[in-house]
Amino acid sequence: MNTILDDFLELKEILNAFNGIEKNYNWLLTDLNWFYPEHHIDYFEDFRILDGSDNCLDSYWITGENLTKLANDNKVYFIWGVFSAFDKNQTIDLDEIKEKPNADGNPNFWGDSLKIQHPKAIVELVFWDSSLILLLSKDNDLSENFRNNFEGWKDLNSFNRS
């Protein structure tokens, strides 16, 4: 289920809406624009910071448990970013990602053929310019929990057709 929410939320609020399901996954975070990522490095299993002045080149790998801990321990907001969820037994070599999932400037969210960017990802949570949150998901329970916790959500596929 694909969902769009016109809101700017703290990460903790979003994960609380998932009701713990985020812990069932490992997460790849890419195309991030957020404040002080260096303060949160200890939460990540692996990371690549390619250029300290441009966070969108960075990539991070984190367990669902540590993502939840990061959100609970810190007030974290994302201006731009893509969180891609993978099955727990899946690992990603950050040096071998050919095309990183991206949000900023990506026109593919606004068309008819919506799909999660990484072929092995199950969920894609997108932070769009501090104004929208997109959720593309093959996990219906996670999507339902998200929709049940936020008023004003819209089906992204219907939104794109209107």
Give, as one character, the DSSP assignment of residue 147.
H
Q: Name the phi and psi angles at 106, rounded to 5.
A: -85, 110
Whole-number pLDDT of residue 39? 81
Whole-number pLDDT of residue 58? 85
Whole-number pLDDT of residue 48? 87
Whole-number pLDDT of residue 112? 87
Q: What's the pTM value of the predicted model, to 2 decimals?
A: 0.94
**Short-list 58, 74, 64, 62, CA closest to 10:** 74
- pLDDT less than 50: residues of the chain: none
Rounded Cα distance between 4 and 14, Å, is: 13
Contacts of 94 (CB under 8 A, 6+ apart): 46, 47, 48, 59, 61
Largest CA distance in the chain: 43
Whole-number pLDDT of residue 52? 54
> Would you give the distance in Å from CA 114 to the centre of its chain?
16
The helix/strand/coil state of 92 is coil
Cα atoms in the Cβ-side hemisphere of radius 13 Å centred on 30? 19
Whole-number pLDDT of residue 4? 98
